[in-house]
Structure 1
Amino acid sequence: MLNSDDALDTQASVRRANLRRALQLVFRNPGVQTRAGIARSTGLTAATASSLVAELLENRLIVEGEQAASTGGKRATTLSIDASHHLILVIVIQPRHAHIALVALDGTEVDVRRVTYSAEDRDRVLDAAVAAVAVEFGDRLLAAGVQLPGTTDGRSVLESVQLKWQDLPLAERFERVLKAPVLLVNDVDAEAIAEAGREESPAGYRLFIHIGGGIGAAVTLDGELAPGPRDRAGEIGHVQVVFGEAARDCSCGRRGCLESASAMGAMLGEGFSDAMDAAEIAVLAARADPRQLDDGARALARAVKLISALLDPTEVVIGGPATVLGPRFLERVRSETDYSSRGTAQVPIRYADPRVALSAGAAQAALTSALGVRWSPEQLLAASAPRP
């Protein structure tokens, strides 16, 4: 039998779960959802649904809108997302610069800024940028999502070769300044989350492969990230896929790794840097040796075939700077995976959606962590169009 404290805990958890359900319904149908609609969809009484809506209104998570179309009785009042108060801070940390965005609850970026730094002053510049955001928006911050290259458990940077960080409690450091919860997200995981969010009801496995200065992968299942028990799922860059005389030396000290053939530097030459913009990468790609691009596509296809045979993904998505390589590279990867064998099936391969904003994945992860809800595909893509 539950004692009185256990009963109160149970009631509180049920209340929180119902608040999440009601809020998710408004997120999915803003401007259309009503109190009666929430009651019907959840099976709750009209009084309970109204109580949930009242709490969400009080917490400035939703707002009342226009009256819905009449169904014969009193016209119901519609409910929408309150995009005027709470903000999610996104910090995308890269070796030479950071992209900082403040995202409203409707998915729109309301402020975007960029800071640059060197390896020597990176910590100081980042801390100053976070402090500036805290001063300007501190009372409106709901949560923060910090996207970075490297492995993380959500609280600490376990290891980042690019940033030369190891066992760094970065979330705690930023929380002391922001006074809001901070979630760390691996950069490839964040991209995979954003791509999965493009679908209303994503189903099955999706393999996301980021190709830049290095190569990483992430897997989502039914739209949710599928991490490994040691937070190192997707570390495929140093899996050997090229053998014999064709194998090249890799930066890790071995030969034939996927990165040694398919990373952007391997395909475009030593002039490539993750700090380059799309136009600069396009210039390098136009001058690149087609044979190196073909070698990269072939090595990537080998990795894709092996992983696809194991996971049976609904699709494979290639993201990162590699999307600048255009249709020729993509078609070569597709052709290298186009083979018929008993028990196998051709897996669709595409580039990442260019409409998805850089902040979208980390923002979605932070939103889910804070409120337990997800944006609709339209809201997730809204971040691509900053407000005037």
Structure 2
Amino acid sequence: MATRGETGLTQASVRSTNLQLVLGAIQRGAGAVSRADIAAQLGMTRSTVSRLVDDLVLGRLVAEGTAVSGARGRPAVPLAIRAGTVVSLGLEINVERLVATVVDLAGNLIASVQRTVEVRDIGTAEAMRQLAGIAGEALAAAPTDARIVGAVLALPGLVDRDGTTVLRAPNLGWDGLQPVADWDLTTDDGPLPLRIANDIDCSALTVLREQPGESFLYITGEVGIGSAISLAGQLLTGPHGWASELGHVCVDPHGVRCGCGATGCLETVVGQRALLHRAGQPDMEAYLAALEAGDQTAATVLDEVIVALGIAVGGALNLIDVTAVKLGGHLGQLEPWLAARLADEIHDRVLWSDHSTIEITTVAEAPLRAAMGAGLSALARVTNDPASWIEPLIDR
């Protein structure tokens, strides 16, 4: 049995930490990293890394590729996260839809099921019942030998740290409710636990998967406006998990009342419903067509959107010092009309803008981003503690 040393560490805890580090290096390597590469990156001996990799392979978390000959020494064997062996259930409930996805540790979408529904009209219990139904459909498409890590549900609102209670969700009307109490889904291993999370934080995880280590302000919108902040690849969520609510920053103290109860929130000017109402258009396609045709009302609404975004984004950049702004949802659709003018608006409001370029880009808005990000969030149980997932499969 391992004994606790002066540092308070045991052999088991050191091994667990090293497995986490090695698995992380393989994940970042995207199939192009070898044992020698990892040893150099982490400052470990090659023999230590080799033993850890062997365990991750036996534990079905890592796969070995075909050896590649180098200039000298033995051919390097590329390592990658093994697809399809460990999966999670990533879910989303939004104002007009239910989504269920199955995601594996390699970040692949295994299956997805969507249902269009007016969630406010059916209530929490019925929404969760229907969600469990489509979740079961999605899980039926997962590999039969895959291990299911758990489930995370992405919701548009503030969630408590325990991931059980919706604190504020103005667009859903679920304030103070516990949707997990109405969750009932059983797999071969028993009841599948559920945790809830903010939908934009989940969506941002998919952006980080594509651009690991990046710092950015991500702003996306549908009914309302959501945002997330990444600093060097880590989401800025705050001590309670409530940070980055840019949609509820005041941009007009004399404006209209927001669904959250405050007056003049960014969401009341830039949110899709608010924008379309002022423009007199039924949907974004019609509004974009009106802009293209030179409609004056559509142009006036765009002016208001640009000023409001400039106020909110400029203030945020002054606070957090990031130079990348990523637009998604209907804001991404508006990028051809607003990017250049928004850049000027932000430049005038950011103190340091003369000394560093502020880049405004769009994020391809696959409708599954929030649900897939929820699945990635659930898989953190494996990446944070791979030892507990491989030990049952290793014959010692």
Shorter-chain TM-score bucket reads 0.7 to 0.9
The residue correspondences of 1:165-184 to structure 2 (distance < 5 A) are 165-170=174-179, 174=183, 177=186, 179=191, 182-184=194-196
Match of 1:311 among 296, 320, 333: 320
Match of 1:239 in 2: 249
Match of 1:283 in 2: 286
Structure 2 Cα separation of the partners of residues 272 and 183 of structure 1: 39
Match of 2:311 in 1: 302
| Closer, same or farther: CA 341–183 of 1 in aligned 2, 3 Å | closer
Structure 2 Cα separation of the partners of residues 102 and 272 of structure 1: 39
* Amino acid across the alignment from 1:115: R
Q: Is 1:361 the counterpart of 2:368 in the alignment?
A: no
* Amino acid across the alignment from 2:204: A
Match of 2:230 among 207, 215, 220: 220
Instruction: Judge which range, 163-172 or 22-31, deviates more.
Output: 163-172
Shift of 1:294: 1.0
**Cα deviation digits, residues 28-73 of structure 1 (max 9, x gap):** 3344333343334333334332321222112211122212215544
Structure 1 Cα separation of the partners of residues 298 and 69 of structure 2: 62
Shift of 1:92: 2.1
Match of 2:392 in 1: none
Shift of 1:84: 3.4
**Cα deviation digits, residues 210-246 of structure 1 (max 9, x gap):** 23322232222111111123332223434332255xx
Match of 2:99 in 1: 99
Q: Is 1:352 the counterpart of 2:362 in the alignment?
A: yes
Structure 2 Cα separation of the partners of residues 30 and 238 of structure 1: 37
Tell me if structure 1 keeps the 8 A contact 2:101–2:112.
Answer: yes
Structure 2 Cα separation of the partners of residues 98 and 133 of structure 1: 12
Match of 2:127 in 1: 122
- Give 3-state SS (helix, strand or coil) of 1:66's partner: coil
Tell me if structure 2 keeps the 8 A contact 1:63–1:79.
Answer: yes
| Closer, same or farther: CA 123–368 of 1 in aligned 2, 3 Å | closer
Alignment TM-score, normalising by the size of structure 1: 0.79
The residue correspondences of 1:320-339 to structure 2 (distance < 5 A) are 320-339=329-348
- Give 3-state SS (helix, strand or coil) of 1:269's partner: helix
Tell me if structure 1 keeps the 8 A contact 2:328–2:365.
Answer: no
The residue correspondences of 1:1-388 to structure 2 (distance < 5 A) are 10-118=10-118, 119-120=121-122, 121-134=126-139, 137=142, 140=146, 141-152=148-159, 153=161, 155-156=163-164, 157-170=166-179, 174=183, 177=186, 179=191, 182-203=194-215, 206-243=216-253, 247-252=255-260, 255-269=263-277, 280-287=283-290, 289-339=298-348, 345=354, 348-354=358-364, 358=369, 359-372=371-384
Shift of 1:5: 9.9
Structure 2 Cα separation of the partners of residues 68 and 108 of structure 1: 25
**Cα deviation digits, residues 355-385 of structure 1 (max 9, x gap):** 7662453343333343139xxxxxxxxxxxx
Match of 2:391 in 1: none
Structure 1 Cα separation of the partners of residues 308 and 365 of structure 2: 28
Tell me if structure 2 keeps the 8 A contact 1:250–1:259.
Answer: yes
Alignment TM-score, normalising by the size of structure 2: 0.78
* Amino acid across the alignment from 2:207: E
Tell me if structure 2 keeps the 8 A contact 1:67–1:78.
Answer: yes
Shift of 1:352: 3.0
Structure 2 Cα separation of the partners of residues 248 and 222 of structure 1: 36
Tell me if structure 2 keeps the 8 A contact 1:193–1:223.
Answer: no
Shift of 1:350: 2.2
Instruction: Judge which range, 342-351 or 211-220, deviates more.
Output: 342-351
Structure 2 Cα separation of the partners of residues 327 and 54 of structure 1: 50
**Cα deviation digits, residues 169-226 of structure 1 (max 9, x gap):** 44576586355564432112123333344334325xx222223322232222111111
Which runs of 5 or more residues in structure 2 are unaligned?
291-296, 386-396
Which runs of 5 or more residues in structure 1 are unaligned?
374-388
CA-atom RMSD in angstroms? 3.4
Tell me if structure 2 keeps the 8 A contact 1:268–1:293.
Answer: no
